[in-house]
A and B are shown apart, each in its own frame.
Chain A
Amino acid sequence: MKDDFEPTIIGFLCRWCSYAGADLAGTSRLQYPPSMLPIRVMCSSRVDPVFIITAFLRGADAVLVAGCHPGDCHYIEGNYYTRRRFACLRKIFETLGMESDRIRLSWISASEGPRFAQVVTDYTDKIKKLGPNPAKKEIFL
């Protein structure tokens, strides 16, 4: 049963780096699983943790936030704030016993098409092993 489980991963990708990286992976015809639903944001720091929780509670099997490498943010320092917020959100997930593996932060630059494909492939594998998000079945959410 778990074998035919195809995870849905919501990807918040920053417009300047990670989304461009995804584009490059596409135009370079790199192979990676079609599990990610990309959402383009202006900067990784635009992602309010509430967006991540919303996706998670609505049944996304995982949420990826991706932005420029530290030091390369188009807005100079946006991703440093992203990282702090993410550290806080992770701690909240852990504290409340929610699977923190279902949220992930990665840096992918505009030129890293292969890396984008790799991240999606690896993360999809990992989530496949973890199984579907239990929130999907919670009716009283």
Chain B
Amino acid sequence: MSRTVIPFGPQHPVLPEPIHLDLVLEDEKVVEAIPRIGYVHRGLELLVQKKDFKQYVFVAERICGICSFMHGMGYCCAIENIMDIKVPERADFLRTLWSELSRMHSHMLWLGLWADAFGFESLFMHSWRLREKILDIFEQTTGGRVIFSVCEIGGVKKDIDAETLKNISSKIDEIKKDALEFSKVFYKDKTVAVRTVDVGILTKEQAFALGAVGPMARGSGLSQDLRSTGYAAYGQVDFEPIFETDGDCYARTAVRIREFFQSADIIKQCIGKMPEGEIRQKVTGKPNGEYFMRLEQPRGEVLYYAKANGTDFLDRVRVRTPTFANIPAMLETLKNSQLADVPLLILTIDPCISCTER
């Protein structure tokens, strides 16, 4: 059968960010997808040679507008390990709390976009309405809705008082109740199932071989979650990595919905166990050495590499973001898919292109 190549992206209604795919089609069936990225490269890694190591925290946060807190935190943790700084326990708990709030709002954002991609407009609006409440908690505690600027080398800049913590706890309960109601639509609605069940299957072996991370890997039955390594305060809260075994879009949706509720639970645990004390440790001296830091972001594992030379300016920072790691898995799911499913299959990895290109 003759083949046609159609360009998909970089501008496409379903893509919030630019990625280009050349889709090789046989009739309506995709036989191959060839990706091209590089439309929003900002050179943020190189900036580390121009901004001093404390200023760079603000740059690291701007790598991504959704997991901005965890980017800042990943960089700070790497530098803290190089400099041998012990972060106060309360700061670790606050970092965990903000990380999980980020996960909640990121998953809610994705669920909304996901609903929008299969044409369920009102579900999209309800998801984003709920996400707004989480952003309000962020604004109340950090002063920012997207970029938080609270993480710093040696701890966090802002504390949350007991009253506000109680307040957050009850807000989380409300959000959970609301989310429970319409998350059932993703699970049970027939129109959703038609678009997601058995679409874009990635087997466990494929997920492993292609180095999939995050919900993409966990939806295929790989139970890997970096939070189990116990960085920040994760060692002190109870949780089990969530995974599903079907490997289709439905399974990945289920992983994210279940993780949303798990994050709410971790936040409640953090509030309950939050120790009193300092939130920041004074940083003296300059970093010298190198370190790899691995964190679990909403989209999967992020890897921060920092190399310092004893001056104010680092030699190198390298960030391997989860979307970058998930692109091979996405290409695999695109093979033999229908053209109409391509937008869904791109969205299923929860792509963040600005992260990927930095």
Do A and B share a complex? Answer: no
